Structure 1
Amino acid sequence: MRWTPLTAAALATLLPLTAAANHHPAGSALGFGDATRFADTQGSKQNPAGPIAASDRGVRMGVFALGLSYELGDVADFSDDFEALGEELEDLERLLEEVESGDVDPDNAEDEIESFQANVNEILDRIGEDGYLTAGVTGQFVPFPFETTQDALRGSLLIDLDYSLRGHISVLRGEDLDLSIDDQDDAGDALDTLDGFGGYVRSAVTRTFTLGYGSAVYENRQGLLFAGAQLKHHQVELSRMAVGFDDDPGSQLSDEFRENAETDSDLGVDLGVMWVSDRYRAGASVANLIEPTFDYPAVEDDDTFDAAAERGEIDRDESYRMERQLSVEGAVHTDDGRWLLGGSLDLNPADGPFAAGSEDAYQWLTVGAAYRSPHAALPGWRLGYRQNLTGSELGYLTGGVTLFRVLSLDAAMSTETVDSVPRAFMLNAGVGLRF
């Protein structure tokens, strides 16, 4: 068998792209941080009051946006160990079948069974608790996000459509193997025990349509107070299945993964306020005010899934709730707005779609600095740092550049490594216009 977690993630991400991941900030927010940045539409999406606070009269629109990401558990050689575990279990299964059929005497197979068992337990001890891989892709297409600020509207109108997909694989390990094979019946029971070992593969594919409006609600000599609201329609497809190590996982995924999928839709509401003065701004927002919820599909007649569910590793009634999250932000800038220092903080953690049995919760703390060039021919840049205060608790160095005021490239790289590569990495590229 030649199959690794990377293969599983690749198969998951070949599903039709129909989804927004809170783990993956949009556009230049990845490089600078989640505090509102007025230079482009993607940098003003975090707070629903951002579009009106950020925009002069006119239109801003996206042409395309693409984001890629991955995150690894804190386990060295996870991919190699995952494949080695499958091979060990295949060989052990073959030996047990020979004992069960009477072709091999249990006494003669005892030492070999104990050797396989020790190898399996050793690998499980390394990868069973912390081994996982998450991979994702996000995308937007012309003209989204579309943002217009006009006197006739008395504010700013935002229309947005974005997509993302995230796939996740972890290990179903159960207890350590402890087989005692005295006769053919014991061999049969041991084969049943092996059904409980495998990988747990999940994906969340979401299409989110957003309609937002913001306006100035108060003014004095010190500044302006803006308020905004966004109504969101989420269409979410959740898929999951357990893949036995001793089967043909690649074939099983390609044949059955889409069958274990369920699509649902729900509405969400985000609210935000922002105070803007000559040299500073401060804001607060609440995402998922009414907490849209989506159910994972039931999985029927699957030995690996059933065994893991009986052990409590899998929740048969698993669901994904987009949890309410409060955030605050602030920034200071020069009179011309070209230099900007900002920071943001999520005040509470929220679970992602794979929270059950994974490190898929998030609570971002971000800080960043940015410079916007006065000349379109010169690049603008941004640098920052973001820290997840929950879940994997990874920290990232971030940065980005804008070329000709239309092309943005941003990246975030985790400060922790595994196998000499970053445990996590995110990349955004996009083109936007203003007129």
Structure 2
Amino acid sequence: MKLKALTISVAALTSLAGAAFAAPSGYAPGSTLTTGAVSNPYALSSLAYNPASAQLMLRDDENIRFGWLTTIGTGIELGDVSNFEQEINDLSDELDRDDLTLSEGEALVDRFNAILPELGREGYMKLNSGVSVPLMPVVFNVGGMKGNFFVESGAELLIGGRFIDDEVTVQMNGSTGSIQTQSSVYLKAGTGIRLGLGYAQPVWEGGEGWKSGQLIVGGKLDVHRLSLSKQVILIDDVDDLEDTIEDDYDKNEVSSTGVSLSLGAIWRADMYQLGLTLNNINEPEFDYGPVGTNCDGLSGTSQNNCFQAQAFIADGRIDGTETHKMRAYGTLDASVWLKPNLMLGTSFDIGEHEDFVGDDYQWMSVAAFYQPEFWAIPGVRVGYKQNQIGSELSSATFGFSLFRNINFDFEYGLDTTEVDGDSAPRNIAFNIGFEEHF
């Protein structure tokens, strides 16, 4: 199977599944791609994290603030396998041959059986995309109340494909033969649509000197609509690959609705602030569509893939039925103002959580951001972040704001792999957003 064909099919699946939500699953919305989960009054997108930050978003003379057009972004991540695409393509080409001599077949068996276990351990590709509903988030104050309400809505798409290795053997028919393997790609995909409503207000103010400050608390309810699907695709079943992925995606997809509760607190002082967020306190669950069921009712490539899924399930290599749990976890964040418009911030997840496709995360980030008073001078931000578990990937991040309202943010992975013989980052991401300035 050509890996490029799979990539094209994943793109088709993206179109099929629909666009996706601004939340800390696989997609970091807006400027939070650079700054992480720091409560930042200059960025409405930080409302995706600590709900208490809504109290920071309005000046005393403001009643409402909103995003303008939208915030949209995408990113890709690759496993730590050098020349992954080339190795898979070479295997696919050799699987198509039926004119191998015995010595050629045995040489190919030795070659691929030496590398397939590594592909099985490290070979994966993941794509995430997210978009906010236009004008979202919206922060507003009603009737001079002490606190602020906010509404946010958007969507997210996450697709992950990993390689499942199987032994390569040679089958002879007279003087010629072919190689065979049940190696496959295990594709998992999820789309999420979210509507969130939250409120934040100060509850205490006092102290003296550097201890003086304001305690803000907030809460948020999110309604999630997730559609989750997974499928096994044999790498030598290349005919009508795109149609097979699309057909099986629909057959295996399960949609469900759940509600999550998150609470946050911020201690805000003149020169610094501290934050704590408790995410997904009630841990809602969402089912994936099953694989390896009702195979006798299928035909052709879909049936072959279904029977192979049954084999992997029997071997304990995949789960036939699966549930995604939005696990509860905490996030600490802290920031200090070095100058009125220069801020340093850091955040750290307490406990691990997982995205739609089951990969584990525990983020640590540090960033600096500068927002000039004069509207024509771009605001600039730089940062660093690392996943403390799972992939353990680290990234450098950079962003800038034009005219205070148009944001561009980039993530460039510091871990590398080889692609076509050249060194390349294992992960990259890009966001663009339009939102009203504080």
Q: Any gaps of 5 or more consecutive residues in structure 2?
A: 296-305
What's 1:156 paired with? 148
Cα distance in 2 for residues equivalent to 1:307 and 1:114: 25
Alignment partner of 1:79 is 2:85: yes
Q: Choose the corresponding residue for 2:158, options 156, 163, 166.
A: 166
When the two structures are superposed, what TM-score results if normalisation uses the length of structure 2? Answer: 0.87
Shift of 1:72: 0.4
**Closer, same or farther in 2 for the Cα pair 1:335/1:401, shift >3 Å?**
closer
The aligned counterpart of 1:275 is 267
Letter in 1 for 2:319: D
Which residue number in structure 2 is paired with residue 105 of structure 1? none
**Which AA in structure 2 matches 1:225?**
L
C-alpha distance in 2 between matches for 1:86 and 1:198: 11
Give the conservation status (yes or no) of the 8 Å contact 2:20–2:130. Answer: no
8 Å Cα contact 2:2/2:92 also seen in 1: no
**Match among 61, 68, 72 for residue 66 of structure 1:** 72
Partner amino acid for 2:349? D
Aligned to 1:315: 319
Identify the residue that residue 415 of structure 1 maps to in structure 2.
414
Match of 1:290 in 2: 282
**Compared with structure 1, are the counterparts of its residues 111 and 225 closer, same or farther at alpha carbon in structure 2 (3 Å cutoff)?**
same
Contact 1:53 1:274 in 2 (8 A): no
CA contact (8 A) 2:202 2:214 kept: yes
Q: In structure 2, do the counterparts of structure 1 residues 9 and 182 end up closer, same or farther at CA, with 3 Å as the change threshold?
A: closer
- The one of 175, 188, 194 equivalent to 1:202 is 188
Which segments of 5 or more consecutive residues in structure 1 lack a partner in the other structure? 96-107
CA contact (8 A) 2:57 2:65 kept: no
**1:234-272 superposed Cα distances (whole Å, 9 cap, x missing partner):** 100111111111212334213322222111110101100
Match of 1:262 among 254, 264, 271: 254
| Aligned twin of 2:298 | none
* 1:12 match: 13
Tell me the distance in 2 between the aligned counterparts of 1:319 and 1:79.
30
Q: Are 1:246 and 2:236 an aligned pair? A: yes
Q: Is the 8 A contact 1:89 1:245 kept in 2?
A: no
Same amino acid, percent of matched pairs: 27
Which amino acid is 2:73 matched to? Answer: G
Correspondence 1:355-394 to 2 at 5 A: 355=358, 360-394=359-393
Deviation at 1:223, TM superposition (A): 1.1
| Inter-partner Cα distance in structure 2 for 1:21 and 1:117 | 43
| Distance 1:334-1:21 versus aligned 2 partners, 3 A rule | closer
The aligned counterpart of 2:300 is none
| Alpha-carbon offset, residue 147 of structure 1 | 1.0
Residues 88 and 120 in structure 1, CA contact (< 8 A), matched pair in contact too: no
Tell whether the 8 Å contact from 2:20 to 2:131 is kept in structure 1 after alignment. Answer: no
Contact 2:20 2:129 in 1 (8 A): no
TM-score (norm 1): 0.88
The AA in structure 2 aligned to 1:314 is I
Code of the residue aligned with 2:223 in structure 1: it is: H
Check conservation: 1:155, 1:215, Cα contact below 8 A: yes
Distance 2:46 2:323 in 1: 31
Alignment of 1:346-357 (within 5 A): 346-355=349-358
String of CA shifts for 1:212-238, please: whole Å, max 9, x gaps: 111111111411100000000010011
Assess if the C-alpha contact under 8 Å between 1:229 and 1:272 holds in 2: yes
CA–CA separation in structure 1 for the residues paired with 2:115 and 2:90: 8
Q: How many residues align?
A: 408
Q: CA RMSD in A?
A: 2.3
Instruction: Tell me, yes or no, if the aligned pair for 1:379 and 1:402 is still in contact at 8 Å.
Output: yes
The change in CA–CA distance for 1:362 and 1:372 in structure 2 (over 3 A counts) is same
Say whether 1:40 aligns with 2:43.
yes
| 1:18 Cα deviation from its structure 2 partner | 4.5
Contact persistence 1:408–1:431 (CA under 8 A): yes
Q: Is the 8 A contact 1:385 1:396 kept in 2?
A: yes
Letter in 2 for 1:17: A
Greater Cα shift, 25-34 or 220-229? 25-34
Structure 1 distance, partners of 2:416, 2:86, is 17
Which residue of structure 1 lines up, in the alignment, with residue 303 of structure 2?
none
Aligned to 1:74, the other structure's residue is in SS state coil
SS of aligned partner of 1:265: strand
The answer as to whether partners of 2:50 and 2:265 remain within 8 angstroms in 1 is yes
Please tell me whether residue 329 in structure 1 is matched to residue 333 in structure 2: yes
Q: Which amino acid aligns with 2:144?
A: A
Say if 1:9 and 1:168, in contact at 8 Å, map to a contact too: no
Q: What is the DSSP-based 3-state SS (H/G/I as helix, E as strand, rest coil) of the residue aligned with 2:96?
A: helix
